[in-house]
Amino acid sequence: MTMPRMNVKPARKQFDKKKTFTRLIKYLFHTYPVRFVIILICIVLTSIGSLAASVFMVQIIDNVIYAGIEQGFEAVKPTMIALISTLASIYVVSIISTITYQQMLCTVTQGFLYRVRTDMFKNMEKLPISYFDRNAHGDIMSTYTNDVDAIRQLISQSLPGIIQTLVTVSILFVVMLYYSIWLALAVLVSVYFIFFVTKKVGGGSAKYFIKQQQSVAKCEGFIEEMMNGQKVVKVFCHEEASKKDFEVLNEELNHNAYKANAYANMLGPIIHNIGNVLYVLVAIIGVVLVVNNVPNFSLRGFGTAEDVSFNLLPGGNMGVALTMGIAITFLGMSRQFANSFNQISMQINAVVMALAGADRIFELLDQKPEEDNGVVTLVNCKIENDNIVETEERTDHWAWKKTNEDGTISYKELKGDIRFFDVNFGYYPDKIVLHNVSLYAKPGHKIAFVGATGAGKTTITNLINRFYDIQDGEITYDGISIDKIKKSDLRKSIGIVLQDTNLFTGTVKDNIRYGKLDATDEEIYKAAKIANAYDFITRLPDGFNTMLTGNGSQLSQGQRQLISIARCAIADAPVTILDEATSSIDTRTEALVSKGMDGLMEGRTVFVIAHRLSTVRNSNAIMVLDHGNIIERGDHEALLNNKGTYYQLYTGAFELE
């Protein structure tokens, strides 16, 4: 039985932006703690440099220009030199800080993304098969590409820009309060409107940017599926229907992207025009205060013109009346203040997209790895004086190794005795597909499963590998419950040829060696001969060094299957599972392969799933399944004599399908 596709994904948890952002920053800080702090310090210094002109403009206008007109140039020359020197020093520090954090940011960004991708892949490799049944592969790929790229933009561009802007705004507002609280209050009113607009318009933009990210994943998943199934699409002339299906997904993406960018494109101009209104407002208020000589209320001084308390910035002996220098400088600061908020608003969308991507990445990282509570391991061994002795050398003899509660170690020779005891299993808890399955396979026996598609044949072999865990009953391997055996060691002892052949990008030799990474070339050639793949491989352009791509698309289905069989042969596992291993091979080649496989299977436990009943005639036992139940069992002759379901299948009275 083939695992049913779980198209419906479990409901996603609610997207918590604050929690995701906090986790992302912690992740970033723990990756590069020292560099992260240095970057923050450099950003602050850069922000101070960007404000230097605004802060010193008051002093230059009032203490140099106006004072120079009244007192003469020579009188203000020392002040001018001191101000320019200080300003130049600040700019030099700012330039060095900018270069430092930009260069360091490149290292931090790429290093952080390297760690994220590594952690994602490591965790993905530990996930159970069921995760990949529930999630579209294109959707998972989108996490590695679009979501990771969104985080790259956040770390390398948006986050530094936002931090720098927030520091700039904070310092600007303190400076404004220092010079004139009246004008600062006018700026504060504009801030209220900016926040109001950002919340309304920016909130809508953020919502649709999240939807856009999800739509991109759907589109990529559909495109990948269509690319993989392009032959099927063309054979059944499904091109137009595929286009319509894609247009639906593409229209959804287009709608979400349009809405997201429409909101985003409105936000910038609105805030920019609020800044223009603020500029005019500050100009009018400033002129009124200067012309009418209205007492200035600021952190720099209170009361009379002689009171110069709180004089924190250079050149403060100016009294409390609003000067032309302060009014002119405020115009520049108000413009810079509004532009700073405009820059933040432009980054909001990138931040939201990055947080949506980070949420999907964390969702993958938070997936629970495949549980493995096994304590029994598989080791190479040799027999000395009727005792099992563990050895690091590959001896082609294996034993199960168990550490007992008292600390002693016991060994049990691997023989390949696999038994099912009243096993019940369902891919979903409420839908059981195997019912009270009991069977045994003695060492060296060949057990065959026959039955219609969906009867439960492949499901049984998936349980032997522990791709899925049973709901009830027990499966033992050499008398050991398989849930006590470490999954990696269990699977190491089982060779398998799957119904769906998967070849990886690499040479033919690399693909065969996948079954045994330390295999020599001679072992590869021997395995190819056993699988009857040697002849056709040597006729390829580069023989065993021929590069395969696209799941071996340049080979026929039968040739791909032969390489898969060779991969299983080289693993030389004590137990072998052949899931429709010869389904894509012609009858003549099947006979040759079967002969070679007989040599491979000698002395090993073999489970065979086949539609061609001619391939299971020499099995020690044949299990006939129907809707998850074993309805008949026995060897070929016994089942024919019973004249039941197997007899009718074999004689053609019934079809397997």
In 3D, which of 515, 611, 518 has the Cα closest to residue 563? Answer: 515
- My answer on whether 193 and 321 are in the same domain is yes
- My answer on whether 313 and 402 are in the same domain is no
- My answer on whether 183 and 240 are in the same domain is yes
- My answer on whether 403 and 294 are in the same domain is no
Q: What are phi and psi of 200, to 5 degrees?
A: -75, -55
Residues 198-256 have pLDDT tens digits of 777 766 676 777 788 778 878 877 887 787 777 667 766 777 888 888 888 888 888 88
Q: What are phi and psi of 484, to 5 degrees?
A: -95, -10
Q: How far apart are CA 76 and CA 78, in angstroms?
A: 6
> Count of domains in the chain?
3
- 493 lies in a domain? yes
- My answer on whether 614 and 633 are in the same domain is yes
Domain boundary pick from 326, 345, 365:
365
Kindly report the CATH number assigned to the domain that includes residue 194.
1.20.1560.10
pLDDT above 80 (res 1)? no
- 598 lies in a domain? yes
- 4 lies in a domain? no
- My answer on whether 361 and 468 are in the same domain is no
Which residue range(s) make up the domain with 396? 377-413
Query: Residue 484: its pLDDT value, please?
Result: 92
**4-139-209 Cα angle (round to 5):** 140
pLDDT above 80 (res 283)? no
Looking at residue 298, its amino acid is S
- My answer on whether 209 and 264 are in the same domain is yes
pLDDT above 90 (res 153)? no
Q: How confident is the model at residue 585 (pLDDT cuts 50, 70, 90)?
A: low
pLDDT above 80 (res 379)? yes
| Contact by Cβ (8 Å): 310, 299 | yes
**630-635-638 Cα angle (round to 5):** 95
Alpha helices in 442-538 (DSSP H): 457-464, 487-492, 508-513, 521-530, 534-538
| Contact by Cβ (8 Å): 286, 23 | no
- 656 lies in a domain? no
pTM: 0.70
- My answer on whether 477 and 517 are in the same domain is yes
Question: How many C-beta atoms lie closer than 10 Å to residue 369's C-beta?
Answer: 13
- My answer on whether 395 and 476 are in the same domain is no
- My answer on whether 445 and 353 are in the same domain is no
Which residues are CB-neighbours of 274 under 8 A, at least 6 positions away?
190, 193, 194, 197, 338
Beta bridge partners of 381: 390
Helix, strand, coil shares, percent, the chain, to 5: 60, 15, 25
pLDDT above 80 (res 59)? no
Spatial strand order of the sheet with 377-384 comes to: 387-390, 377-384, 398-403, 409-413
Quick one: tokens of 88? 């130049």
Looking at residue 510, its amino acid is D
- 224 lies in a domain? yes
Query: Residue 475: its pLDDT value, please?
Result: 94
Beta bridge partners of 298: 301
Quick one: tokens of 347? 């980054």
pLDDT above 50 (res 319)? no
Residues 392-445 have pLDDT tens digits of 887 778 899 988 888 888 889 888 899 999 999 988 878 889 999 999 998 888
Query: Residue 163: its pLDDT value, please?
Result: 86
**618-619-623 Cα angle (round to 5):** 140
- 6 lies in a domain? no
- My answer on whether 422 and 442 are in the same domain is yes
Q: How far apart are CA 568 and CA 394, in angstroms?
A: 17
Q: For the residues 107-131, what does the mean pLDDT come to?
A: 89
- My answer on whether 425 and 409 are in the same domain is no
pLDDT above 50 (res 313)? no
